Amino acid sequence: MNEQEVRKRQRSRAKVMGLLLLALVILIYGISIAKMVVAS
Amino acid sequence: MASAAPATATAPLPAHWRDFLALTKPRVMSLVVFTGLCGLLAAPVPIHPVLGFTAVLCIALGAGAAGALNQWYEADIDALMNRTADRPLPAGRMDRQSALHFGVGLAAFSVLLLYFATNWVAAAILALSILFYVLVYTVWLKRRTPQNIVIGGAAGAFPPVIGWAAATGDVSLLPVLLFSLVFLWTPPHFWALALFMKSDYAKAGVPMLPVVAGERSTRVQILLYTLPMIAVALLPFALDLAGRIYGIVACGASVVFAFLSTRVALRRSALNDAMKPEKQLFAFSILYLFGVFAALALDRLVLA
């Protein structure tokens, strides 16, 4: 298994993880706003 | 996710993110998500779109987590069946510990997020459904009894109840009927599949009904479960819990389901049989559930 291949795989996983975390931040923000709207 | 492997010449290649996605059984998830969404839309209380989206997302994540834990536990028998041999674990593209961590983490995350976005009733039912699928169906029943999918079918029947609970915060008669419908639909659906995948299950030592009790008994059982399933499918209309759109679709689709399952019940397979009627029943059973639940949601939207 060459190092280049391992690094490539790690990079693609890191990118997906980053996108998922960004989506989570947006979702939590959206949920908070929605709950405030529902409560008011 | 799996821990990053040190980049040496002997280190195994870290699993691809697509393998983690495959671990969640995305195709199975589509029906679960759809029935959950319809349960949510059928509720008499409107839910904020963002919260509704989150509830459906959590149902999907919970189902994915249950699928991942199922594959973690069943890697040995998955390797023996043609249908499942290419999954990430039996194919050697992922180590078991990564699958376990991913499944447990995703399960906990989905339950907590659902609680945060909606209410504890929905979150508790989601937790129960994941535990039921993993502990009761996968660990306890699947390798021990031909009734595995009858009792285990309850796990797949929870999503409409979770959707309903997310919107209303409680569980009433209609979601219980929807639960019963999916519960009674599961045996004819899976036994139709098991009839034409019998050799696969036998090879893996999974005691599916056609392997243990034979084809004749399985065909009769398919019909025996179809009849109460149809009765339950018609109950929401009969009890005035759903409108005419649902009534017409449920009646029409149930007639076709009854015809297909009767045809399967009455026939005997020949040597090298293509099992066309069994495949047709399996395919239609998926369409049936989609159709009936879509009609329920449409009914509610039109009436609203």
**Residues B217-256: pLDDT tens digits?**
999 999 999 999 999 999 999 999 999 999 999 999 999 9
Helices (H), chain B: 17-23, 26-42, 49-73, 75-78, 96-117, 120-131, 148-157, 159-168, 173-196, 198-204, 209-212, 215-238, 244-266, 276-303
CB neighbours of B120 closer than 8 A, spacing ≥ 6? none
**pLDDT greater than 50 at residue B174:** yes
Q: Would you state the pLDDT for residue B8?
A: 42
Nearest to A1 among B13, B116, B117 (CB): B13
Q: In A, what residues contact B, Cβ < 8 A?
A: 1-3, 5-7, 9-10, 12-13, 16-17, 27, 30-31, 33-35, 37-38
Interface residue of A35, A37, A40 to substitute, partner B, most B CBs within 10 Å: A35
Query: B50–A13: do the CB atoms touch at under 8 Å?
Result: no
B121-125 mean pLDDT: 98
Query: A35–B51: do the CB atoms touch at under 8 Å?
Result: yes
Nearest to B5 among A6, A16, A33 (CB): A6
Q: Give the largest CA-CA distance in chain B.
A: 67
Q: Which residue of B has its CA nearest to A39?
A: B48
B259-274 mean pLDDT: 89
CB neighbours of B92 closer than 8 A, spacing ≥ 6? none
| Long-range interactions of B170-178: CB distance < 8 A, separation 24+ | B170/B121, B171/B121, B171/B125, B173/B239, B173/B241, B174/B42, B174/B236, B174/B241, B174/B242, B175/B39, B177/B232, B177/B235, B177/B236, B177/B239, B177/B241, B178/B35, B178/B38, B178/B39, B178/B42, B178/B236, B178/B293, B178/B296
CB of B18 less than 8 A from some CB of A: no
Q: Would you state the pLDDT for residue B120?
A: 97
B303's tokens = 């009436």
Query: A31–B50: do the CB atoms touch at under 8 Å?
Result: yes
Distance CA B156, CA B197 (A): 21
Q: Which residues in chain B have their CB less than 8 angstroms from residue A33's CB?
A: 50
Residues A1-40: pLDDT tens digits?
Answer: 578 888 998 999 999 999 999 999 999 999 999 999 999 8
Residues B141-152: pLDDT tens digits?
Answer: 888 888 888 888
Query: B117–A13: do the CB atoms touch at under 8 Å?
Result: no
Distances (CA, A) of B48 to B45, B55, B125, B159, B172: 10, 10, 20, 19, 21
ipTM score for this prediction: 0.91
Distance CA B98, CA B267 (A): 46
Q: Would you state the pLDDT for residue B206?
A: 79
Work out the number of other CB atoms within 10 angstroms of the CB of residue B273. 14
CB of B45 less than 8 A from some CB of A: no
Query: B50–A12: do the CB atoms touch at under 8 Å?
Result: no
Taking the model in full, what pTM does it have? 0.90
| Long-range interactions of A9-16: CB distance < 8 A, separation 24+ | A9/B13, A9/B14, A9/B16, A10/B4, A10/B14, A12/B16, A12/B17, A13/B1, A13/B14, A13/B16, A13/B17, A16/B17
Distances (CA, A) of B173 to B155, B164, B240, B257, B287: 18, 11, 11, 24, 24
Residues B203-220: pLDDT tens digits?
Answer: 777 788 888 888 999 999
Share of chain B above pLDDT 90, in %: 71
Q: How many residues are there in chain B? A: 304
Q: Would you state the pLDDT for residue B304?
A: 65
**pLDDT greater than 70 at residue B24:** yes
The values of phi and psi at residue B132, to 5°, are -60, -45
